[in-house]
């Protein structure tokens, strides 16, 4: 069999060799990973840009609620030199995001699903977990690995079709590993987030109920999306099942408020 028939099989090995280890250890041990100063600065610049482009919510109840929950959560998270900032944006889309250094945004539409402070803690703890796990840096390196591996293999394939081969391999690598890597981060953030909310005095069982409400909203709105292997986020059913399986560990950290 020609050598080029075997080369695409090397793509997973090259990419997986660069994958970051989990920030979550056994028995609920969480490894805090700081972002580089450059990445923190970029996160701050990006967040400032978002604040100039998106309307900030004037709903004081939302902001008071996020301040209370964020204060409890950040007290149990030891991220050195964190620059925590939590902002509610006036956007009906139920969504939230985090940037390196501790910048967290949540859309006003998310409050229709969170409903309670424990529900809000589920979302904020998940986003905080992305920050403390330095998922942004891991994702950047993963995407770079995919591009590098595709270029190397495309070059080895050689000939007039090298560029086409590189593009195809890059696309296949992103689907097979880039999106999968992203989904793995989301599930890890769910687990770490459950630990953070438990340590802050929120019952991690509330996380299941919050994601069930989120799943019900998506189903009611017809927002089912593509098949799971083409998603950056896991299916709601997968997320709930994985989190439910992790609850016994998270419950050990829950002492009530």
Question: Once rounded to an integer, what is the mean pLDDT over residues 201-208?
Answer: 95
Whether 186 sits among the annotated catalytic residues: the reply is no
Question: Once rounded to an integer, what is the mean pLDDT over residues 155-159?
Answer: 42
**Rounded Cα distance, 138 and 236, in Å:** 23
Domains of the chain by residue range:
36-251
Q: Tell me: pLDDT of 89 over 60.
A: yes
pLDDT score recorded for residue 9: 39
Q: Tell me: pLDDT of 243 over 90.
A: yes
Closest CA to 194 of 245, 241, 247: 247
Catalytic residue among 42, 85, 117, 127: 127
Higher pLDDT, 111 or 226: 111
Query: Average pLDDT, whole number, for the chain?
Result: 75
pLDDT in tens, 47-65: 899 899 999 999 999 999 9
- CA distances, 191 to each of 69, 108, 207 (Å): 18, 24, 10
**Rounded Cα distance, 239 and 195, in Å:** 15
**Rounded Cα distance, 39 and 119, in Å:** 29
DSSP 178: I
- Measure the CA dihedral 251/139/136/121, to 10°: -30
- 3 state DSSP class of 188: helix
The answer to whether 234 touches 187, Cβ cutoff 8 Å, is yes
pLDDT score recorded for residue 202: 97
Write down the pTM of the prediction.
0.73
pLDDT score recorded for residue 235: 58
- Measure the CA dihedral 247/248/253/255, to 10°: 90
pLDDT score recorded for residue 257: 56
Lowest-pLDDT range of 58-62, 87-91, 125-129, 229-233:
229-233
The answer to whether 115 touches 132, Cβ cutoff 8 Å, is no
Using the Cα atoms of residue 87, residue 74, residue 93 and residue 130 in order, give the sign of their dihedral.
positive
Residue 13 has which token pair?
């090995």
The residue written with tokens 């600065």 in the block is 41
């Amino acid at each position: 069999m020609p050598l080029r028939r075997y080369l695409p099989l090397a793509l997973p090995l090259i990419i997986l060799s660069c994958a970051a280890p989990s920030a979550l250890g056994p028995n609920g041990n969480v490894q805090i990973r700081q972002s580089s100063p450059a990445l923190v600065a970029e996160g701050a610049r990006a967040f400032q840009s978002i604040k100039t482009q998106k309307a900030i919510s004037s709903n004081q109840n939302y902001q008071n609620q996020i301040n209370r929950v964020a204060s409890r959560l950040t007290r149990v998270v030891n991220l050195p030199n964190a620059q925590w900032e939590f902002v509610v944006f006036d956007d009906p889309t139920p969504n939230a995001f985090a940037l390196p250094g501790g910048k967290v945004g949540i859309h006003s539409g998310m409050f229709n699903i969170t409903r309670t402070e424990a529900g809000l803690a589920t979302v904020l703890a998940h986003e905080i977990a992305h920050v403390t796990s330095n998922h942004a840096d891991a994702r950047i390196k993963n995407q770079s690995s995919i591009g590098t591996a595709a270029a190397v293999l495309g070059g080895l394939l050689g000939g007039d079709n090298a560029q086409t081969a590189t593009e195809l391999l890059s696309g296949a690598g992103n689907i097979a590993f880039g999106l999968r890597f992203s989904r793995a981060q989301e599930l890890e953030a769910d687990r770490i987030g459950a630990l953070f909310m438990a340590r802050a005095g929120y019952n991690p069982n509330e996380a299941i109920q919050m994601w069930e409400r989120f799943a019900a909203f998506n189903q009611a709105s017809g927002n089912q999306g593509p098949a799971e292997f083409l998603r950056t986020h896991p299916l709601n059913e997968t997320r709930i099942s994985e989190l439910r399986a992790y609850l016994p560990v998270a419950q050990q950290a829950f002492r009530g408020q």
